[in-house]
A and B are shown apart, each in its own frame.
Chain A
């Protein structure tokens, strides 16, 4: 039966090529726009570390004076930590893994004669960064907590930087010149760039993109005078030479808490710590916060508003296209009242007529999906040539590919419902009488 409906539907679609083309085109445009924007939105709001994100938490403290709150409302807890607090929490060792992070733009000087110095995004962090974030190594390893304490001049570099500086060879043991100081390379990462770049939030880096080029031990880098990209002072003035003791926040801290009990315990510890600091006179407020990774990304509005607006707009557009398709399908099917009358008179049931028209709508949907996929690829190609940070990442993955057809079929079947219903309630007798 299905094959017969397919045949009927194809004949009917062929009979009025312009109308069919119009329907398919409109549906494809709507689907193309929707899939393009959804693919971008999915990319932007994705989970940067799916296997780990549920265990990663971001503690916050409030060292700001009461008469000079961090935010105007006074309700927000500062999003970064001072060095003293970050180190206190780090050394308390209340979680199996913890790492303090700061970003810095660093000058790299190639060792070759003709190489010009250039800037790269750098991360200053502590030993647990790599195991906690599951950063994969191509060569070598990360550094140890002992290297942190001894201010070791070692570095881990990203795969793209290794390609650029060493042609992709194993560069472990070679030297790299960072901000006019020599660091020994002890590890090379595989291509690794969680999106969004959760650990870079508020640290002066990019929220999306290919990731940082070089990773250095925090204390070692600071010993060489490498300063963080972002710092905010809450005291009288910031002494750049002594950021470690300055009244300034410039570090993010991540902790790994595997179970809910660990989270509760850490939350309690954080509260105690803040109260202790108030008692010591270092803090005036005992506000704290501990957010999970995904919660943190949501609360900091990491997904640009424009991306959401675009997706909303595309949905509105798809809706218009679906209404348009309903109208055109309806026009087509009402024009065929006589054919329906004849089929009904010859014994086709209402269900059969309904099925026939739904098959026709589905064909339009599949065609719209295929063409929509072309439009979506075109749209994503366009986005890759946009100046946005995330531009180069825009692509269609397998699930979005499948989702395109789901959307296309759903849209066309919804669009087909009304016309098919109108078709199946056509009374056969008057249609036959007219001829």
Chain B
């Protein structure tokens, strides 16, 4: 295909050509950034969380008398354990993604200067089993350690804790965490086990560094425990939750109960993110449609204007294929110019967003991918007008109009 005649004709139609290039460039820039944002948010939604997400249901109990916790919690647990299908049950202070951050700063030496903030969970007896924590090294708590651990001023009065793999890496880089000691406010705890990464109560609040910095303390029945964690097979979840709510509302008539499957809690946490993803996708689709229609409109006009020339070319021997190719190549050239400009623009927008918002650098492969997408879009959009152009009969050349 000869490109020079196309360039010559484009030079004569500078304004429409510029408009198409501009439209494609803008679409490319917006598309790159929007798709990048979609990708980032999708990654957030799929943050891994090493607990049995599909088997857990959580009932939050509020408004009970904390003074009776020592007797009420064991009584409630016995009732919950009696529900058919429940494989493990425990009380705890909070859950990953429950949106109530509980952070504590720890140091690795008694008089340490640099504190590392970790999300803190207190688990009652059977807690690791109920959550389905995945033990990587060491052991979980034993009965004595639960009995020995209280809750005072947001700290454990016990002497042991579990840490997640990420937290262990952050606190003691390239060392074995087992047996190491954490300190805060004159208290200290020994790491007895390392578990796979569990999310913070509010990982967006904790930030990228603290998302998986999590520690677990054992705790005897205490008023600070507001959550009952029930584990069952996924298919029993709904029934187990219903029966557990019934049982608890009889046992704790004065309390306010809130029950949810863990999958539901996760869904709630990311509801905002998901709606943003949908919104971004909608904008992308509509924007691409508008761009495509713009190309169709302008190319159709072009074809209409050049009927005579097309007729002449056909009359002097050009095949329908040649005419088609002409418009396709023309569109390809315009798309290329638009895409090159668009990639620069996309990169600039990304830099701007990085400086103003919490946005990371766009990986390079977003640029060629959206370039290919716009090339394809351009070719698809030009197909209709190009076919109409190819259908122009040679006889048009001989007519006045």
Contact = CB atoms under 8 A, between A and B. Distances in A.
A171 B115 CA distance: 51
B321 interface: no
Interface stretch (A138-146, A160-168, A233-241, A281-289): A233-241
Given A107-B256, A319-B26, A388-B272, A331 B291 contact: no
Contacts of A119: 62-63, 256
Contacts of B293: 22, 26, 324
Given A320-B27, A328-B298, A237 B275 contact: no
A327 B298 contact: yes
Interface size class of A (residues with CB under 8 A): 35 or more
Interface string A277-302: 00000000000000000000000000
A109 B23 contact: no
A366 B113 CA distance: 65
Contact of A324 (B186, B279, B290): B290
B278 to A, nearest CB: 9
Interface string B97-116: 00000000000000001010
Contacts of B186: 236
B29 interface: yes
Contact of B26 (A116, A238, A316): A316
A320 B290 contact: yes
B297 A19 contact: yes
Interface string B126-159: 0000000000000000000000000011110000
A422 interface: yes
Interface string A53-90: 00000000000000110000000000000000000000
Contacts of A319: 26
Contact of B153 (A238, A306, A323, A331): A238
Interface string A171-186: 0000000011000000
B318 interface: no
B34 interface: yes
Given A330-B16, A422-B15, A236 B185 contact: yes
B276 A306 contact: yes
B269 to A, nearest CB: 10
Contacts of A435: 401
Interface string B284-308: 0011001101100110111011000
A435 B255 CA distance: 89
B19 interface: yes
B357 interface: yes
Contact of B294 (A29, A327, A334): A327
B20 interface: yes
Given A26-B290, A107-B256, A179-B63, A330 B15 contact: yes
Contact of A33 (B15, B26, B283): B283
Contacts of B178: none
A237 B305 CA distance: 81
B185 A334 contact: no
Contact of B305 (A179, A323, A335): A335
Contacts of A239: 153
Interface residues of B, number: 52
A131 interface: no
B280 interface: yes
Contacts of A309: 37, 353, 357
Q: What is the interface of chain B mostly: helix, strand, loop, or mixed?
A: helix
Contacts of A150: none
Contacts of B297: 19, 22, 324, 327-328, 331
B22 interface: yes
A117 interface: yes
Interface in A213-237: 233, 236-237
B291 A68 contact: no
A370 interface: no
Contacts of B113: 67
B254 interface: yes
A111 interface: no
B254 to A, nearest CB: 6
A358 interface: no
Nearest to B267: A387
A414 B279 CA distance: 28
A107 B62 CA distance: 8
B254 A324 contact: no
Contacts of A308: 357
B272 A306 contact: yes
Contacts of B357: 305, 308-309
Interface string A410-434: 0000000010001000000000000
Nearest to A27: B290
Given A22-B293, A309-B353, A320-B290, 9 more contacts: A26-B294, A180-B65, A180-B254, A306-B272, A314-B283, A316-B26, A324-B297, A418-B15, A435-B401
9 interchain residue pairs of minimum CB distance? A237-B153, A331-B301, A107-B63, A387-B271, A324-B294, A327-B19, A236-B185, A316-B30, A386-B275
11 contacts: A26-B293, A33-B283, A105-B62, A119-B256, A310-B279, A316-B29, A320-B23, A323-B26, A323-B294, A386-B272, A422-B15
Interface of B: 15-16, 19-20, 22-23, 26-27, 29-30, 33-34, 37, 62-63, 65, 113, 115, 152-155, 185-186, 254-256, 268, 271-272, 275-276, 279-280, 283, 286-287, 290-291, 293-294, 297-298, 300-302, 304-305, 353, 357-358, 401
